[in-house]
Amino acid sequence: MTASITRPGKIIAIHLSYASRADQRGRRPAAPSYFFKPSSSVGVSGGTVERPAGTELLAFEGEIALVIGTAARRVSLDDAWDHVGWVTASNDLGLYDLRANDKGSNVRSKGGDGYTPLGPELIDARTVDPTALRIRTWVNGELRQDDTTAGLIFPLAQLVADLSQHFTLEPGDVILTGTPAGSSVIVPGDVVEIEVDAPDAAGSPTSGRLVTTVTQGEIAFDAEVGSLPAVDDLQRTEAWGSREEAGLPAESTAPALSPELRAKLMEAPTAGLSAQLRKRGHHSCFIDGVAANIPGSRIVGTAKTLRFVPFREDLFKTHGGGYNAQKRTFDAVDEGEIIVIEARGDATTGTLGDILALRARARGAAGVVTDGGVRDFDAVAEIGLPVFSQGAHPSVLGRKHVPWDSDITISCGGATVQPGDIIVGDGDGVVVIPPALAEQVADDTLAQEIEDAWIAEQVAAGHPVDGLFPLNAAWREKYEASTGAASDRGTRA
């Protein structure tokens, strides 16, 4: 058995299985999902694992490993545990620096040599209750993970039964059953210890402590061959377990755009909003050169930003393919947000197409604003996603742009846009409103709309515009007497 565990035929790992980990990630899967790890990733207790040169986010994941004892093919849930021969400890190590291009498959990020230490001892599966196993992890002697299989979303036997529906589980195959909350980043010199035991079983069987020491690699990845390390704050947060642990500033606790303010802004024309912004000294509030793909569209939402940089062959090779910044942005946009794209005003290539528009629509995005072009223009309009752009262009990503980064301050159509800025668009164009000014600007714009409607009535009745637009003192007195409006010359002067 020792030989088979050091060179199993298959290693199958589950993405999320513990409730504590799922809650930490903010999503609970409805069904288990898996990925494969190569047998060359197996390591032994007392060994080392290398953090490659040029990387920063090597993370441990203490897990319970199941070793198949007898072949299982289309087995029932009731019979599944009978096919498990042994239970032991494992460390499903992962390099988050490589996740962007391998998300889901985890081929490179989880497949490195020594990234699956197992052991040191095997627990006879017949002697333990699979619902009463415990997993604990220590880093440099400090307890970091402590959970039991009672906290699983998917019972261990279900994983065996589920996988056996699709292919034969053979003797010696290993199933990594997921990690609980507490996984985090480790650095060269750290020592990770993982133990699986059954404290309530006769004799309290244990795997012993699986010990792995982190070392620093000397060789960087070859830029001419394939995927290079690339990290952002999302990867840092997921690798460390939280923004605080990653040393990142706390996310803003400012309230999102309220339903009441959103409703006001939906009524307020951009022409009026821009006038109020200019009165407050904001003269660069316009996203110039863009128009709606759906006539009559109005959008209101908070900005989620995406930046493209000019095309360069080597940068597109490292940042253009795989799970790049563009795909991550459309996958992460929240309900009511507007994706704002910096494309340097270049309309000669598409910055999104119908697939990404579908994703944004499904996520509840309020719209997209780009100072570039749109591919699949008619299809995007049929999807119903409002997009303000420079118009249609058939070319794909890679002609003029490299998707570089998201959730940063950008320039779009000559306007500076920060994540969380309020975006309003209509037939006149798109404006950017600093959140702190939005309530007052909306109120004053709507008040001005009422005043302008009254002025229009007077002009329609035959009065000349001189003195009426804007109101002089005499006409303002008539307006206030007619409407009961309170004078507010400070904001309407």
Residue 2 pLDDT: 47
User: Collapsing DSSP states into helix, strand and coil, what is residue 160?
Assistant: helix
Main-chain dihedrals φ then ψ at residue 327, nearest 5 degrees: -65, -40
Residue 265 pLDDT: 94
Long-range contacts: 76-84, Cβ < 8 Å, 24+?
76/161, 77/157, 77/158, 77/161, 79/161, 80/157, 80/158, 80/160, 80/161, 80/164, 81/125, 81/130, 81/156, 81/157, 81/160, 83/160, 83/164, 83/169, 84/125, 84/130, 84/156, 84/160
Main-chain dihedrals φ then ψ at residue 203, nearest 5 degrees: 80, 0
From the CA atom positions of the chain, what is the Rg in Å?
Answer: 29
Reading the chain (493 residues) residue by residue, the pLDDT tens digits are 444 577 899 999 999 999 999 888 777 888 999 999 999 999 999 999 999 999 999 999 999 999 999 999 999 999 999 999 999 999 999 999 988 777 778 999 999 999 999 999 999 999 999 999 999 999 999 999 999 999 999 999 999 999 999 999 999 999 999 999 999 999 999 999 999 999 999 999 999 999 999 999 998 888 777 778 888 888 888 889 888 888 887 765 445 689 999 999 999 999 999 999 998 888 888 999 999 999 999 999 999 999 999 999 888 888 888 788 899 999 989 999 999 999 999 999 889 999 999 999 999 999 999 999 999 999 999 999 999 999 999 987 878 899 999 999 999 999 999 999 999 999 999 999 999 899 999 999 998 888 888 888 888 988 888 887 778 888 888 888 887 765 444 444 3
Cα distances (Å, whole numbers) of residue 206 to 83, 123, 195, 278: 20, 6, 7, 71
Residue 52 pLDDT: 93
Q: Fold for domain 283-433?
A: Glucose Oxidase; domain 1 (3.50.30)
DSSP 149: G
Instruction: State the Cα–Cα distance between residues 337 and 184, nearest whole angstrom.
Output: 30
Residue 490 pLDDT: 41
Residue type, 100: A
> Could you tell me how many residues make up the chain?
493
Q: Domain locations in the chain?
A: 2-240, 283-433, 437-492
Instruction: State the Cα–Cα distance between residues 420 and 333, nearest whole angstrom.
Output: 12
Residue 242 pLDDT: 86
Instruction: Give Cβ neighbours of residue 453 (< 8 Å, ≥ 6 apart).
Output: none
Residue 1 pLDDT: 42
Residue 493 pLDDT: 37
**Cross-strand pairs, 122:** none
Residue 366 pLDDT: 95
What is the distance of C-alpha 79 from the center of its chain?
39
Instruction: State the Cα–Cα distance between residues 278 and 436, nearest whole angstrom.
Output: 15
Q: Fold for domain 2-240?
A: Fumarylacetoacetate hydrolase; domain 2 (3.90.850)
Residue 491 pLDDT: 40
Within a 10 A sphere around the Cβ of 279, how many other Cβ atoms? Answer: 14
